[in-house]
Amino acid sequence: MRGNSARGIDFPALGVDIKVTSVRQPQSSCPFKSARQKIYGLGYSLLVFVYDKRDDEKTRTGRLDIQHTVFVEQEQTADFQTTTGLRRLIENKANRDDILAFFQERMLPVDEIEAESLADEALRHLPAVGYLTVSNALQWRLQYGRVIEQAGQVDGILRLV
């Protein structure tokens, strides 16, 4: 299957999507599949190129400087606040009702049946810590500030040179 960025993944055979974003506002959009992605990750890895672009009006030229190249393994592509909050709850002996309340507080975009299923799964299978900020919208809004900071310091987030 050929890659297609409009479908959300550039290299489906490798399970890798490429994201290119400005250092001034390191974020991009991503197709929404399910709220499960916020807890267990996108389902594929990310190769993120973060650039700074400077234009010279006099010479009508631009300079593109790639400042960071970061590879995020799919296990780390979930939402940081959601995964750390869930992990903290579960480590403190949370039950299903506690987790459902947490989903409501976080405004996780799920119906009641999906929320119950995710709560049960989280109790059975503790999610890994994700390092993206995944904002709710019709499309996920992925923010990369944390992965840029953590690259090379956390397993699964590599700084490429």
Q: Which pLDDT score is estimated for 6?
A: 54
Q: Which pLDDT score is estimated for 11?
A: 94
What are the pLDDT digits (tens) for 84-133? 999 999 999 999 999 999 999 999 999 999 999 999 999 999 999 999 99
Q: Which of 3-17, 62-76, 131-145 has the highest mean pLDDT?
A: 62-76
How would residue 31 be classed by pLDDT, with cut points 50, 70 and 90? Answer: confident
pTM of this prediction? 0.85
Q: Which pLDDT score is estimated for 138?
A: 57
Residue 3 pLDDT exceeds 80 = no
Which long-range CB contacts under 8 A does 94-102 form with residues at least 24 apart? 94/123, 95/123, 96/120, 96/123, 99/123
How would residue 2 be classed by pLDDT, with cut points 50, 70 and 90? Answer: low
How many domains does the chain contain in total?
1
Q: Which residues contact 9 (CB under 8 A, 6 or more apart)?
A: 3, 15, 16, 17, 44
Domain that holds residue 35: 5-159
Please provide the average confidence, as pLDDT, over all residues in the chain.
91
Q: Which pLDDT score is estimated for 49?
A: 95
